[in-house]
Amino acid sequence: MTQLALVIDLNVCVGCHACVTSCKQWNTSGQAGPMFDDNPYGKDPTGTFFNRVQTYEIGSYPNTETLHFPKSCLHCEDAPCVPVCPTGASHKRAEDGIVLVDYDKCIGCKYCSWACPYGAREFDEQQKVMKKCTLCVDRIYDQSLDERDRKPACVLACPTSARLYGDVHDPDSEVSVAIRERGGYQLMPEWGTKPANHYLPRRKTQINIHDDELTRVDNPLKKEDIRHETSKDVSLDDWLM
C-alpha cells in the first residue's frame, strides 16, 4: 500500500518561508483553492495556511540556537479527523494515503480540527469549510506537467532541499532511506495516529579547537620567531617543492 508523505530535514531548514508562499501561490486556484487572508496582521489574524513555519529559540543565553519547524497536515495513517467527520467530508484515499476534505460535503462543524492533535486544520472564513494540506494532489498527478515538476509546491520551492517527498512504505524510496539512515521520527507518536510525515533531527556538529588555534597568527609576541623562520636561506628547489 502506497503512503505518500513529506520528510523534513530540520538541520537545513532556514525558515525562509518559501514553502509557505509557494503553497499559497499554488493553492489560490484549481481544485484546492482559493485561500484567503482577511486580516493577517491585526490583533486577531484570520486566514488560511496549509503550511506554517514556527521558529523557536532553544537553550538559555548565551548558549542558544534557532530552530525552524515547518508544520502541516501529517497525513496520518490512522487519521483521527476522519472518523469524527459527520458527513464523510474528511477521508483518507486508499490509493496513496493522502487525507483530503470534500468541500461539497463539509459543513464547517470543525470536529476535525478538534480531533487533530497537530492543529493542522484551517477554517476558511469565506467558503465556511475546513481546509488543510492536500500534498498538492492536483499537481502530483497532473500529466500535463513534466515528471520532475509532479511534486508538492513546497518541495519544489525549498532552496535548501529540506523537504523530501515520496512513498514512505517503499523501503527503497528516497524518503524511506532518509528516515532509516538519518534517524527520522514522527511527531508526537504517543497519540497513536501514525503520522506519515517524518522529521529528520538536527545533527550536532562538534568543533574541536586546540589551544594553539586560539592564538592569533600575527601575535606580536611571536614576530621574532616568525622573522627568524623566514630569514632562513631557502633554495629554489625548496620553494618548488
pTM of the predicted model as reported, rounded to 2 decimal places? 0.81
Q: Cell triple for residue 124?
A: 476558511
pLDDT of 172-200, one tens digit each? Answer: 999 999 999 999 999 999 999 999 999 99
Measure the CA–CA gap between 130 and 85, rounded to whole angstroms: 11
Q: How confident is the model at residue 228 (pLDDT cuts 50, 70, 90)?
A: very low
Say if domain 4-200 classifies as CATH 3.30.70.20.
yes
C-alpha to C-alpha distance for 26 and 112, rounded to whole angstroms: 24
- pLDDT tens-digit series, residues 106-139: 999 999 999 999 999 999 888 899 999 999 999 9
Q: Domain segments of the chain: what residues?
A: 4-200
Long-range pairs of 118-121 with CB within 8 A, sequence gap ≥ 24: 118/71, 118/73, 118/74, 118/187, 118/188, 118/195, 119/71, 120/71, 120/72, 120/73, 120/74, 121/73, 121/81
Q: Determine the straight-line distance between the first and last CA of the chain, rounded to whole angstroms.
A: 63
